[in-house]
Amino acid sequence: MPDYSKFDTSSLRVTKILIHPIKSCKGTSVEEAKYTLEGLEHDRKWCVIRADNHVVVTARQVSKIVLIHPRITVDPSAPEGGLLAITFPEDSGCEAFSLPLNSSQDTFQKWESVDVELWEQKDVQGYICETTSGRSPSMILSEYIGYPVHLVAKGPRVRNCQPTLRFPKLDAPSYFQDGYPVLLVSEESVAAVQERIRDMVGTQGIDDTWAEEELKVERFRPNIVFKGACIPFVEDVVTELCISSEKETVDGPGIIHLVSKCARCLLPNVDPVTGVRDNAVPYKVIMKFRKGLDPARSSAPCVGCNGIFTGEGVVKVGDWVHVRKMGFV
């Protein structure tokens, strides 16, 4: 257990912001991002689903999905705010296509509405994306994935987050995130996992290449990465924080409640650069020292924390992270 007496609350700053427009696909590092109650703007606003049962497809099932690259192009003068351009690896043979960034109600009326199943809850409204020329997104993605799928955009119907033990009356909306609008992790936490990997090279199936290879924070697919606590896993004991451009604590919309630990599956084993799943890293490593932290899933290892926003605003790289309340989520 880290010594939290060494936790420096005065020096926490945002070092990276990541947006993943299509769930499980390649993320984009940005210098700033707007946020609402549902999460960072455009984060997990789209997802891929099976055509037969409308269950969400992720890198847990198809690791190479992380190589699909959605890029956001904002154009305030465009009727729907810009475009989401989707490209594929060059050797895939799949052509690029684009979609409206902010689909209007008129666009949704032209697309088929479906109930999307995510974590055994079939209650997320989605619309099957279409283009006006060329092959449909469904055809292109089905060729890449290897079986029939659709690309869907989140519909306007609110999807409520599941309550947690600490927040049994939780009332917060989300897009296609696994559970909650925002995921935070510290650089020190990722570095601590990296250190454990080094110590375990040659055991538990951990390849010798990990003696030198860097564990990238992108494997954990966070939204906000911060640094400055001087110890790892400080997010374990923070329950409320505020992100602001001001060094001094201020009240405002940037308050985030951390509502649960992020219980991990095998998805972080997938290399976001190659799309190849590692047999051991980091799952077997974090299983050694990060279990028993989430009372709802005590057997699952945890890295990072899930949070909810309490208002709307903008978060920027370099912003200060002010700890408002401490405890154990």
pLDDT of residue 247: 87
Partners of 309 in the β-ladder: 256
pLDDT of residue 291: 96
pLDDT of residue 2: 57
Contact 81, 75 (CB under 8 A): yes
* One-letter-per-residue 3-state SS of the chain: CCCHHHCCCCCCEEEEEEECCECCCCCEEECEEEEECCEECCCCCEEEEECCCCEEECCCCCHHHHHCEEEEEECCCCCCCEEEEEECCHHHCCCCEEEECCCCHHHHHHCCEEEEEECCEEEEEEEECCCCCCCCHHHHHHHHHCCCEEEEEECCCCEECCCCCCCCCCCCEECCCCCCCEEEEEHHHHHHHHHHHHHHCCCCCCCHHHHCCCCCHHHHCCCEEEECCCCCCHHHHEEEEEEECCCCCCCCCCEEEEEEEEECCCHHHECCCCCCECCCCCHHHHHHHCCCCCCCCCCCCEEEEEEEECCCEEEECCCEEEEEEECCC
If 0-12 CB within 10 Å is exposed, 13-18 middle and 19+ buried, where does residue 185 land? Answer: buried
**Span of 24-28, 77-81, 109-113, 214-218 with lowest mean pLDDT:** 77-81
pLDDT in tens, 172-195: 999 999 989 999 999 999 999 999
Mean pLDDT over each residue of the chain, to the nearest integer: 95
pLDDT in tens, 280-314: 999 999 999 999 999 889 999 999 999 999 999 99
pLDDT at 329 over 80: no
pLDDT of residue 1: 56
Could you give the CA distance from residue 104 to residue 83 in angstroms, rounded to a whole number? 13
pLDDT at 165 over 90: no
**pLDDT band with cut points at 50, 70 and 90 for residue 204:** very high
Contact 188, 53 (CB under 8 A): no
Task: Provide the sign of the torsion angle of the four alpha carbons 28, 32, 36, 41, taken in this order.
Answer: negative
**pLDDT band with cut points at 50, 70 and 90 for residue 163:** very high
Q: How far is CA 247 from CA 225, 244, 258, 323, in A?
A: 18, 7, 21, 12
pLDDT in tens, 242-264: 999 998 876 766 799 999 999 99
**CA torsion, ordered 48, 54, 60, 63, to nearest 10 deg:** -40
**pLDDT band with cut points at 50, 70 and 90 for residue 131:** very high
pLDDT in tens, 25-66: 999 999 999 999 999 999 999 999 999 999 999 999 999 999
